[in-house]
């Protein structure tokens, strides 16, 4: 039998990424878990940023940001960026992270993250004390060592970090269960 669960912000699993932005020489970096792909055409990401975050005005002013995917082993740097507010370039250095130029936006990339999505803000929507930022993905770049021979991202090599709310843990991806858009086909056949 199901029972009421008090917390209303539980959803499993959540991504754990670093959002970077810059404006007029100032650069910001923060950890974000409330983020997801919300449209395919155009490819669009939405994320919830509490309106006190120092990275938010940089995104608003520049209209751009990058979503940097840390790999397993980068938990301490990621966590630091989620518990240290503001600090500009000093925050990057203290996290052991290096800003690098992106290909299509002015926002910096995190050089140590094996994958980055470059985004341009297309909309913002206020929900309580959060600002939901929508960003069109204009470019994705990944390190060669996480790519397959045909240029696709190999998630095993990428080894991204997930965030588990409630117990507040970082976890690696679990085992593969089945092929998506495929394992359900026998049920679809039977439903005809």
Interacting residues toward ligand FMN by CB under 6 A:
16, 28, 30-34, 48-50, 53-55, 79, 82-86, 163
Give the residue with the Cβ less far from ligand FMN, 65 or 163: 163
Question: Beta-strand (E) ranges in the chain?
Answer: 14-15, 17-23, 26-32, 35-40, 43-50, 64-69, 99-100, 109-110, 115-127, 130-142, 161-164, 169-172
CB of 181 to ligand FMN, least distance (A): 28
End-to-end CA distance of the chain: 32
**Least gap, CB of 148 to ligand FMN (angstroms):** 29
Task: Give the nearest distance from C-beta 110 to ligand FMN in angstroms.
Answer: 14
Nearer to ligand FMN, 11 or 103 (CB): 11
Report the distance separating Cα 126 and Cα 100, nearest Å: 30
Which CB sits closer to ligand FMN, 120 or 131? 131
List the helix and strand counts (H, then E) for the chain: 5, 12
User: Nearer Cβ to ligand FMN, position 147 or 162?
Assistant: 162
């Amino acid at each position: 039998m199901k029972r009421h669960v008090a917390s209303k912000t539980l959803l499993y699993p959540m991504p754990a990424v670093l959002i970077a932005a810059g404006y007029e020489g100032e650069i910001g970096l923060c950890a974000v878990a409330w983020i997801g792909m919300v449209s395919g055409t155009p490819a669009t990401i939405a994320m919830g940023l509490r309106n006190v975050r120092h990275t938010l005005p940089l995104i608003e002013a520049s209209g751009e940001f990058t979503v940097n995917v840390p790999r397993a082993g980068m938990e301490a740097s990621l966590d630091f960026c989620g518990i240290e507010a503001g600090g500009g370039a000093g925050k990057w250095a203290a996290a052991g992270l290096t800003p690098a130029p992106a290909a299509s936006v002015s926002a910096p990339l995190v050089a140590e993250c094996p994958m980055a999505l470059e985004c341009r803000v297309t909309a913002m929507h206020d929900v309580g004390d959060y600002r939901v930022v929508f960003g069109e993905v204009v470019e994705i770049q990944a390190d060669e060592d996480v790519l397959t021979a045909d240029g696709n991202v190999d998630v095993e090599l990428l080894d991204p970090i997930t965030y588990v709310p409630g117990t507040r843990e970082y976890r690696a991806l679990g085992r593969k269960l089945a092929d998506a858009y495929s394992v359900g086909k026998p049920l679809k056949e039977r439903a005809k």
